[in-house]
């Protein structure tokens, strides 16, 4: 691999500079090039104070190539006296799954001089033990994972790129072996989406500007995540940030069924962002599945909203659910209907309409039997009202000190009303004030939610409990973004980015298997990660090892569950270390 400066003239603005690098393309089995870093137009760079941008970045490229050459020469010299050993838990999951041979076969088109399954394991270990750039993994992490592996930086980058070229086949291999070890519950699935921003200005065919979760203006990538009934990852998809997330629910469910030979009815559980007529049609009409979606109270018509929020009546009474101490956990009521025979039902038929195919000229109308449950959660109500109050306090300061600009307010703009007057045929804004009506309405709706489901015979408490488990998918995204540090991403090539996120996805799945299957949900994934990161050993003068990890409650839980009598010992013999690495689940 080598870096070089590319000069092009894509527009009238003049010469555009980018740093490119070459790499081995496993599809063509030839050397290819890809963008490493976009620099900008020469004219803009001069305005930023760079007198001769071409000469400046030519020297910078030379420096990158020199650093690359030095890093290759000193790979093993970065090895520390203290080495990671906590990954023995993840190794035990890999060993239990027994998918190394399949991974080697699937990746056989990459002509490499090492075991690809071993590289795959090592990249997952590094992502859990000390996430960061692939250069950091090469220099400071992989050499310090016991026993140390001798991979070059080029080999690591090529492996990550290769994984991204067809990442779904590795997910299929993983799911096949999980199903062989544990019975998977696919009678219901949980689905949600998130996105990741990339600190760059120019878009690519994969990184596109869209609505970022962090309200950033940078190009973003979307991720759809599908969990099984026990909240263990089942599938994922990465897509450009300017695309709607709604179609990916249908794609992942269909792909999951095809790749994993899933038969029978699947209950799709998703938040209100995925609740659209096309997804409902796909679930009940095409796949013959069911669904549990949420629907915002504020999206209802005025008459429906009043019906949802009203106090007890004989047809739709509220039912309280309390804990053993008598504290209110939540309330619910089922919206009943009366049929032609004056029979009271706890469901009704609802009309939907959508375009089945994007190029359809007319919408298709269809009707489904649906149970609708209104819920009220007092804890959620307090949280949402506190959030509204914080937004209002910020808006009051803005209105007091400067003119409010709608584009700068984001979602808070709904609480502002702008007074205008006609001036020479145009409406001109003259003042801004709080929209008290909207504020009162949102405070009144705080804590309320509507659950809509095709499962008309299901108990409302069961529906609530199933939907409430969506918190686990939100936690999964939080683990990806915090503990596994899926971003910032130090890669620019589309396939390398997908390969990086595949490694993060597999790491998350292995952590969930440890948490939910091995430790029966008694040790949270975050605590397992903390244990693995701080469980290190240092080689002693007499060839034994010193355990320099800090004792914690997690120690005792792991020790007792797996029968590791010497896990917490200060002094470990070579045999003790080897036995830890041979831990069986």
Q: How far apart are CA 324 and CA 308, in angstroms?
A: 28
Show the tokens assigned to 96. Answer: 């239990």
Q: Is the pLDDT of residue 70 over 90?
A: no
Show the tokens assigned to 159. Answer: 């492996």
Question: How far apart, in Å, are the Cα atoms of 6 and each of 12, 36, 202, 232?
Answer: 17, 10, 16, 45
SS3 124: helix
Residues 172-201: tens digit of each pLDDT: 999 999 999 998 888 889 988 888 988 777
Supply the DSSP symbol for 145: B
The mean pLDDT of 294-323, rounded to a whole number, is 86
405: Cβ contacts below 8 Å, ≥ 6 apart: none
- pLDDT for 177: 97
Q: Which of 347, 300, 345, 583 is nearest to 463 (CA)?
A: 347
The mean pLDDT of 337-341, rounded to a whole number, is 83
Supply the DSSP symbol for 551: P
Tell me the chain's radius of gyration from C-alpha atoms.
Answer: 28
Q: Is the pLDDT of residue 469 over 70?
A: yes
Q: Which of 126, 100, 99, 137 is nearest to 115 (CA)?
A: 100
Q: How far apart are CA 24 and CA 247, in angstroms?
A: 34
Q: Is the pLDDT of residue 429 over 90?
A: no
pLDDT tier at 32 (50, 70, 90 boundaries)?
confident
DSSP 345-386: ES-EEEEEEE-SSTT-SSPEEEEEEEEEEEEE-HHHHHHHHH
Q: Is the pLDDT of residue 479 over 80?
A: yes
Residues 348-377: tens digit of each pLDDT: 999 999 999 888 999 999 999 999 999 999
- pLDDT for 273: 72
Q: Is the pLDDT of residue 11 over 70?
A: no
Q: Where are the domains of the chain?
A: 3-73, 380-445
Q: Which residue has the higher pLDDT, 51 or 262?
A: 51
The mean pLDDT of 385-396, rounded to a whole number, is 88
**CA atoms lying within 13 Å on the CB side of residue 350:** 17
- pLDDT for 316: 87
Q: Give exposure, 335-354, as e/b (b: 16+ Cβ within 10 Å).
A: bbeeeeeeeeeebbeeebeb
Evaluate whether 569 touches 576 at the Cβ level (below 8 Å): yes
On average, the pLDDT of the chain sits at: 87
Helices and strands, number each (H, E), in the chain: 20, 22
**E-assigned strand segments in 72-119:** 82-84
pLDDT tier at 75 (50, 70, 90 boundaries)?
very low
Q: How far apart are CA 371 and CA 454, in angstroms?
A: 6
Question: Among 63-67, 436-440, 504-508, 533-537, whose mean pLDDT is lowest?
Answer: 63-67
Q: Is the pLDDT of residue 105 over 50?
A: yes
Show the tokens assigned to 431. Answer: 């003042």
Q: Which residue has the higher pLDDT, 23 or 551?
A: 551
The mean pLDDT of 155-169, rounded to a whole number, is 95
Evaluate whether 416 touches 435 at the Cβ level (below 8 Å): yes
Q: Is the pLDDT of residue 508 over 70?
A: yes
């Amino acid at each position: 691999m080598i870096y070089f400066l590319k000069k092009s003239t894509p527009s009238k603005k003049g010469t555009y500079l980018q740093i490119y690098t070459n790499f081995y393309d496993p599809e063509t089995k030839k050397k290819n090039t890809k963008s490493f870093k976009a620099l900008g137009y020469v004219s803009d760079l001069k305005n930023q104070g760079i007198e001769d941008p071409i000469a400046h970045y030519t020297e910078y490229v030379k420096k990158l190539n020199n650093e690359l050459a030095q890093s290759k020469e000193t790979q093993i010299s970065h090895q520390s006296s203290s080495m990671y050993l906590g990954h023995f838990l993840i190794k035990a999951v890999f060993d239990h799954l027994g998918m190394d041979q399949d991974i080697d076969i699937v990746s056989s088109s990459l002509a490499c001089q090492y075991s690809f399954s071993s590289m795959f394991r090592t990249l997952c270990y590094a992502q859990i033990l000390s996430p960061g750039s692939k250069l950091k993994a090469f220099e400071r992490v992989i050499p310090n994972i016991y026993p140390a592996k001798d991979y070059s930086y080029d080999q690591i980058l090529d492996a990550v790129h290769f994984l991204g070229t067809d990442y779904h086949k590795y997910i299929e291999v993983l799911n096949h072996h999980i199903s062989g070890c544990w019975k998977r519950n696919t009678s219901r699935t949980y689905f949600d989406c998130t996105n990741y921003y990339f600190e760059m200005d120019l878009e690519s065919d994969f990184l596109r500007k869209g609505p970022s979760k962090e309200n950033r203006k940078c190009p973003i990538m979307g991720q759809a995540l599908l969990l099984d009934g026990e909240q263990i990852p089942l599938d994922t998809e990465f897509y450009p940030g300017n695309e709607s997330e709604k179609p990916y629910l249908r794609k992942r469910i269909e792909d999951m069924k095809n790749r994993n030979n899933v038969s029978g009815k699947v209950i799709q559980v998703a938040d209100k962002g995925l609740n659209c007529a096309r997804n409902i049609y796909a679930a009940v009409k095409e796949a013959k599945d069911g669904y549990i979606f949420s629907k915002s109270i504020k999206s209802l018509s005025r008459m429906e909203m009043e019906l949802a929020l009203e106090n007890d009546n004989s047809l739709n009474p509220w039912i309280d659910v309390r804990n053993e101490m008598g504290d209110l956990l939540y309330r619910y009521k089922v919206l009943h209907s009366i049929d032609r025979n004056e029979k009271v039902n706890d469901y009704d038929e609802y009309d939907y309409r959508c375009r089945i195919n994007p190029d359809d000229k007319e919408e298709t109308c269809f009707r489904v039997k649906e149970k609708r449950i209104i819920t009220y959660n007092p804890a959620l109500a307090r949280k949402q009202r506190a959030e509204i109050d914080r937004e209002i306090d910020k808006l009051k300061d803005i209105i007091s000190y400067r003119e409010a600009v709608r584009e700068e307010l984001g979602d808070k703009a709904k609480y502002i009303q702008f007074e205008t007057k006609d001036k020479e045929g145009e409406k001109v804004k003259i003042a801004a004030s709080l929209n008290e009506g909207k504020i009162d309405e949102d405070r009144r709706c705080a804590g309320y939610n509507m659950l809509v489901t095709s499962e008309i015979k299901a108990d409302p408490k069961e529906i609530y409990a199933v939907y409430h488990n969506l918190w686990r998918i939100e936690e999964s995204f939080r683990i990806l973004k915090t503990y596994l540090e899926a971003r910032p991403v130090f890669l620019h090539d589309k396939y390398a980015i997908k390969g990086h996120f595949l490694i993060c996805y597999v790491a998350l799945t292995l952590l969930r298997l440890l948490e939910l299957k091995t430790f029966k949900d008694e040790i949270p994934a975050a605590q397992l990660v903390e244990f693995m990161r701080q469980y290190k050993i240092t080689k002693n003068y007499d060839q034994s090892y010193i355990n320099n990890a800090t004792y914690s409650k997690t120690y005792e839980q792991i020790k007792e569950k797996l029968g590791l009598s010497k896990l917490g010992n200060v002094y470990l013999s070579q045999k003790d270390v080897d036995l830890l690495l041979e831990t069986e689940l």
